[in-house]
Amino acid sequence: MILIDQRNNRDPYINAAIEEYIVRGMVPLDTLYITMYINSPCVVVGKNQSIYKEINFDYLRSGQPVIRRVSGGGTVYHDEGNLCFAFLCSFDERKVNNYVHFNQPILDALQRAGIDAQFNKRNDILWDEKKISGNAQFTDRKNILSHGTLLVNSDLDKLRGALKQNAFEIESKAVSSTRSSVMNISERSDRFKTADELKEYLSKELPISGTYSFSDDEWAEINETAVSKFQSDEWLWGRNPYTKIMKQGVTIEVDGGIIVDIESGDERLKALVGKKYNYAGLKGNVDELVKLIF
């Protein structure tokens, strides 16, 4: 197992681009790689999810980052109390959706630290029936990415607020998150009070035999991907599946991040058809219309 040196980067766009570069750019992977990182506060949605359905609109109004990852699965909240990990290796059909294959060393390390962690049927990692880790995968049939999170001392109030169901009705055929009862490891363990402490522990406990450092050219490609893909409207909003939002007597239909129809008695809203349906894209419109939509 080789540890990827990501220079303790906490930029969620950069860390998403690192995973993208490894799984797509380092072909074929000649061994098992792992990267561990901590993101600054953000919400991360699955590749096939609707932002409008998954994230509370108060969070969207706050302007905090939303990241769309390359893997499927549900929406998660990241902050400095959440340790992210990713395993990357060459493709093997037997490893697809086989989270135990990748995560068993992490489970064993947690247990050695006195944390009675167990897998559930959905391949989450639980402690006393509460979720401390969720996982997702992506493969391009050349390499495979299996990544997850470990809640150490995350701000659970902000987590719940960001992912709280909106008070109005939203319909979408997009993949929906499964709501789970979560817990921080630090609630029950004095061993790890911060995500950095758990990261340092796992760096020593996992069977890591070496470190891979990106070249200047590789960092340049990673930085370019962080901007051109993961910060782009096309990737973040354009991949939103068809979603219908019903609020205050208004029905808004959105597809690919674009308003395709509005049903309302207020004719002024018709002018928004064809526009991007995200907060930044509507800032130029009448404030009251923005408030109605968000």
Return the SS3 of 75. Answer: coil
- pLDDT at 180 (0 to 100): 79
Which residue type, as a one-letter code, is found at position 164? K
User: From residue 132, how far is each of 45, 184, 198 by CA, in Å?
Assistant: 18, 6, 13
**pTM reported for the whole predicted model:** 0.91
Closest CA to 51 of 269, 266, 254: 254
Angle between helices 12-25 and 216-225 (to 10 degrees): 120
Q: Which residue has the tokens 């990713």?
A: 86
Q: Are 189 and 113 in contact, with CB atoms under 8 Å apart?
A: yes
pLDDT for residue 286 is more than 50: no
- pLDDT at 27 (0 to 100): 83
pLDDT for residue 280 is more than 60: no
- pLDDT at 268 (0 to 100): 77
Q: Are 43 and 65 in contact, with CB atoms under 8 Å apart?
A: yes
pLDDT tens digits, residue range 216-267?
999 999 999 999 999 998 999 999 999 999 987 889 899 998 889 999 887 8
Q: Are 55 and 43 in contact, with CB atoms under 8 Å apart?
A: yes
Q: What percent of the chain has pLDDT over 90?
A: 73
Residue 285 pLDDT level (bands cut at 50, 70, 90) = very low
- pLDDT at 265 (0 to 100): 83
pLDDT for residue 169 is more than 50: yes
pLDDT for residue 279 is more than 80: no
Distance CA 180, CA 115 (A): 19
Q: Can you read off the two tokens belonging to residue 134?
A: 């969720």
- pLDDT at 250 (0 to 100): 86
- pLDDT at 175 (0 to 100): 80
Report the pLDDT averaged over residues 20-32.
Answer: 92
Q: What number of residues does the chain have?
A: 294
pLDDT tens digits, residue range 62-76?
888 999 999 998 999
- Helices H, strands E: what count in the chain? 9, 16
Return the SS3 of 159. Answer: helix
Report the pLDDT averaged over residues 204-218.
Answer: 97
- pLDDT at 294 (0 to 100): 52
User: From residue 192, how far is each of 97, 114, 147, 226 by CA, in Å?
Assistant: 29, 11, 21, 31
More confident residue, 276 or 111: 111
Q: Which domains does the chain have, with CATH numbers?
A: 2-236 (3.30.930.10), 243-293 (no CATH)
- Give Dmax over CA atoms of the chain in angstroms: 65
Helices assigned H by DSSP within the chain: 12-25, 51-54, 57-62, 99-112, 156-163, 195-205, 216-225, 233-236, 287-293
The sign of the dihedral angle between the CA atoms of 4, 186, 103, 83 is negative
Residue 283 pLDDT level (bands cut at 50, 70, 90) = very low
- pLDDT at 194 (0 to 100): 97
Residue 43 pLDDT level (bands cut at 50, 70, 90) = very high
Q: What percent of the chain has pLDDT over 70?
A: 95
pLDDT tens digits, residue range 147-160?
999 999 999 999 99
Mean pLDDT value across the chain:
91
With residue 230 as reference, give the H or E element that holds it.
none
- pLDDT at 270 (0 to 100): 82
